[in-house]
Amino acid sequence: MLEKHGYYMEDLTVGMTAVFAKTVTDADIVMFAGVSGDTNPVHLDESFATQTMFGDRIAHGMLSASFVSTVFGTKLPGPGCIYMSQNLRFKAAVKSGDTVTARVTIREIIGEKNRVVFDTVCSVGDKVVIDGDAMLMVSRKAA
């Protein structure tokens, strides 16, 4: 099982970065609505959505935010880390066909508490759609 573990506290340095990118599809939006229960018509009903300020259906903000979790759980720190908190600021809408890139960067390491603070950003091209920060618990190597 240890071979599946991601980074340990001892492996991390401020400034380390990792990314995950995914093109959001109509199927992603429908499946996220099914899993989350968020069936707001701005996500699912074209005729409703065209009457909103967005002019079209938009993806759930939390769908894009979930890509941050993907980076944490699979890349940095990777398997074994535990999410403790996340702050999100939604800046722009994501639509079907947009490629969202989630980037996490280590801002601070709190070694005595096994905590790591990250800056988190989701973007579509050069446009930031979500920014925020997160704190994770990361284990130490066995003595």
Q: What is the pLDDT of residue 138?
A: 97
Report the CATH number that the domain containing residue 70 is assigned in CATH.
Answer: 3.10.129.10
- In the predicted model, residues of the chain with pLDDT beneath 70 are 1-3
**Cis geometry, peptide bond prior to residue 77 (ω within 30 degrees of 0):** yes
Does the pTM of the predicted model rise above 0.95? no
How many angstroms separate the CA atoms of 91 and 117, rounded?
A: 21
Per the structure, the count of domains in the chain is 1
Per-residue model confidence (pLDDT) at position 106: 98
Which position has the token pair 């573990």?
Answer: 5
Size (the chain), residues: 143
Residue 3 confidence (pLDDT):
66
Confidence at residue 4, expressed as pLDDT on a 0 to 100 scale: 82
* Rg of the chain over all Cα atoms, to the nearest angstrom: 17
Does residue 143 lie in a domain region? no
pLDDT attached to residue 1: 45
Q: Read off the tokens for 22.
A: 């995914």
Structure tokens at 53: 């300020």
